[in-house]
Amino acid sequence: MKTNVLSFIKKYTMVIALVIVFLLFAWLTDGRLLNAQNLSNLLLQNSYVLVLACGMLLCILTGGNVDLSIGATVCLVGAIGAQLMTSANMNAVLTIIICLAIGAVIGVWQGFWIGYVHIPPFICTLAGMFLFRGLGRIVLNSKTINVSSNKLFVNIFASYIQIPGIDSDVKWSAFIVGIIVAVGLLVYTAINRANKTKAGYKVAPAAGTYAKMVIIALLVLFYTWKLAHYKGIPVMLLWVLAVVFIYAYITSKTAFGRYFYAVGGNEKATKLSGIDTRRVYFMAYASMSFLAGLSGLLVAARVGSVNGDTGTSYEMDAIGSCFIGGASAYGGSGTIAGVMVGAILLGVINQGMSILGMDNNWQYVVKGAVLLVAVIFDVVSNRKTGKS
């Protein structure tokens, strides 16, 4: 019994930490954290972290490597998009396509040097951080460009879904979607479990499996109920969920996704097994910059403007989310679900401290402490050393 409890705590440490931190700030803020507007803003203000963390996980899986240039890429892509829509009067949809293509090109550039020329990722992306930040400021001409007047662009990323005839003061469509998702999760769990049992696979105890899914379903219902009492489901949530589900599927359900874990676990053995590790590195950094380009558009639409400091420290938020969410500092382990928990935990800390009116500097202190504790826990619990 004791062993099972310890195993459960170790497996869900960050989830437990998230629950404790959330309840703590809900109490400290006298329930203001639970307000519909604050819960909606919790997602919107951290959407870029959720997106960037998915790409950063692939980089970390390859051996604890990171991409330091993503904040600068966010700035550069946002700057180009802002100039195209304001100075060139380009259509918002065409601008978005061009900006995503630029993000992909930056990824191909860095992926080539890292994967095929074997430039150390730290050095290559550090150079990119200076290079793309400088180019972004040149494109902006050291000015702040407002994009909020482009309604189509803002609506594509930062509007809210409302259905005439259903939504009024209460956006019932949000709660209806929550019910559909909750029921879908429970049905999927039952079908998946039945298929595994029929195929002869070992499955977890039914009580624990269904209890976990019921809790998740209730959280979905609670969150969508809150969204229904604000402005409804934000379009940005759909962008974030699309990225999360795609990367979760890639890392857990595809052979290529498992290559990232293999490279981080033992790169030499992976090479000997016939896997092209150069391609794995290339794809990790190519996808990372593509997501940075998408984040540049999300941030521009949410904030309504782009300046030379846009994206500052975004790479640190993404890296912190991955390590806090259980990704190993040595590579080879980590999940999208864990990364999302890490990102939300940082978001709750930021949101809670902001509501309390605490000095912004303390947010850095707390995030640094949480990151250090998470990495120490990973190293100690897995009996790892810097030489392993």
Residues 6+ apart with CB under 8 A from 90: 84, 98
Distance between CA 167 and CA 164 in Å, rounded? 6
Residue 168 DSSP class: S
| The pLDDT value given to residue 375 | 75
Which of the pair, 357 or 114, is modelled with greater confidence? Answer: 114
| The pLDDT value given to residue 388 | 47
For residue 233, the cross-strand partners are 161
Q: Are 309 and 144 a contacting pair, CB within 8 Å?
A: no
Q: Which of 65, 76, 52 is nearest to 119 (CA)?
A: 65
The sign of the torsion formed by the CA atoms of 90, 93, 98, 103 equals: positive
Q: Cβ–Cβ contacts within 10 Å for residue 67, how many? A: 32
| The pLDDT value given to residue 241 | 92
| The pLDDT value given to residue 4 | 63
Of the spans 157-166, 210-219, 236-245, which averages the highest pLDDT? 236-245
Distance between CA 343 and CA 149 in Å, rounded? 30
How far CA 69 is from CA of 53, 130, 313, 334, 374, in Å, comes to 13, 8, 10, 22, 23
Two tokens, residue 150: 């482009």
> Which amino acid is present at 222?
F
| The pLDDT value given to residue 2 | 58
Residues 6+ apart with CB under 8 A from 196: 203
- Say what percent of the chain tops pLDDT 90: 44
| The pLDDT value given to residue 387 | 43
Alpha helices in the chain (DSSP H): 2-11, 13-28, 36-45, 47-61, 70-86, 92-115, 121-140, 151-158, 172-199, 206-228, 235-253, 255-265, 267-272, 277-303, 314-324, 336-355, 360-381
Distance between CA 125 and CA 72 in Å, rounded? 10
59-105 pLDDT, tens digit per residue, is 999 988 999 999 999 999 999 999 999 988 999 999 999 999 999 99
With a cut of 70, say whether residue 384 has pLDDT above it: no
For residue 306, the cross-strand partners are 145
With a cut of 70, say whether residue 8 has pLDDT above it: no
- What's phi and psi for 267, nearest 5 deg? -65, -40
| Alpha-carbon dihedral 175, 181, 186, 187, rounded to 10 degrees | 120
Distance between CA 252 and CA 279 in Å, rounded? 19
Report, in angstroms and rounded to the nearest whole number, the Rg of the chain calculated over CA atoms. Answer: 21
132 falls in which pLDDT band (50, 70, 90)?
very high
Residue 161 DSSP SS3: strand
Q: Which of 295, 292, 313, 319 is nearest to 360 (CA)?
A: 313
Q: Cβ–Cβ contacts within 10 Å for residue 23, how many? A: 11
| The pLDDT value given to residue 386 | 46
Q: Which of 305, 312, 314, 311 is nearest to 143 (CA)?
A: 305
| The pLDDT value given to residue 200 | 77
- Say what percent of the chain tops pLDDT 70: 95
Q: Which of 122-131, 317-326, 357-366 has the lowest mean pLDDT?
A: 357-366
Distance between CA 376 and CA 339 in Å, rounded? 17
- Give the DSSP letter string of 284-334: HHHHHHHHHHHHHHHHHHHHSEE-TTTTTTHHHHHHHHHHHTT--TTSS--
Distance between CA 110 and CA 369 in Å, rounded? 31
Residues 6+ apart with CB under 8 A from 287: 55, 58, 107
| The pLDDT value given to residue 116 | 93
